[in-house]
Amino acid sequence: MKERDFLENKKIALKKLEKAKKEKLADEGIIPILDLINQTEDYFTSSSCYGRTVLLELPIIGDKKEAKFLGKWHRTVNASEILDSVKYAKKGQIWILSQSPIIHLAAKTQIAADKMVKTAIACGFKHSGLKSLDKKIVVEVCSTERLDAPVGKDGILFCNKDHLDLLVNISNEIMKKSTLKLKKFEEKLKKDINTYKTTNE
């Protein structure tokens, strides 16, 4: 990507992020990391998620367009919160999903992209890599931990209390590990930030 195009895309992305911050749509826990990345010359973030546990209703497997969020938490949860959210289910399969953090960012060069991927992997985000090399160089920072479990259908929860408690405990363990990895990633970026050329220079 030409530098002019990179800078223009970065300007647009940062405006969108600032708007999301003002509207409380950006996950607060991940904002410090986004700010660290965005202050450098060679990168800008395009999307992110702190990590979350979701109770989802799916009319048809793979139909994300018609999927309905029954509950969504960017923190640890308890079984009672899951049970309270099941009452919003009507038609379709009910799934508990636990997803680790994810950050998509554009890099100015392949060398910069490779550096970010190595940094992310060193901090435990083992599934990180290049997402695209086409019109722009996109890096995906993500981990391997996740949970996808069907728990009911058509408004009825099929799993018993012990099974639900197990799923909740696994989800919370994923969230705790994710939080530790994000802290490590943030500290690594803070430590190495002077090795990046920044827009403040």
Structure tokens that stand for 21 in this block = 């911050």
Domain housing 63: 3-195
What kind and span of H or E run contains 10?
Answer: helix 3-22
Cα(138)–Cα(46) distance, integer angstroms: 9
Task: Please report which confidence band the pLDDT of residue 201 belongs to, taking 50, 70 and 90 as the band edges.
Answer: very low
CA distances from 165 to 11, 96, 115, 170 (A): 45, 12, 40, 9
CATH number where 57 lies: 3.30.1960.10
Higher per-residue confidence, 2 vs 147: 147
The neighbour count for residue 168, using CB atoms within 10 Å, is: 21
Cβ–Cβ under 8 Å, residues 57 and 75: no
**What pLDDT digit, counting tens, does each position of 6-62 carry?**
999 999 999 999 999 999 999 999 999 999 999 999 999 999 999 999 999 998 776
pLDDT tens, residue by residue, 67-87: 999 999 999 999 999 999 999
Q: Whole-prediction pTM value?
A: 0.88
Distance (Å, rounded) from C-alpha 54 to C-alpha 95? 8
Report the domain count for the chain. 1
Does residue 200 fall inside a structural domain? Answer: no
* 74 assigned to some structural domain: yes
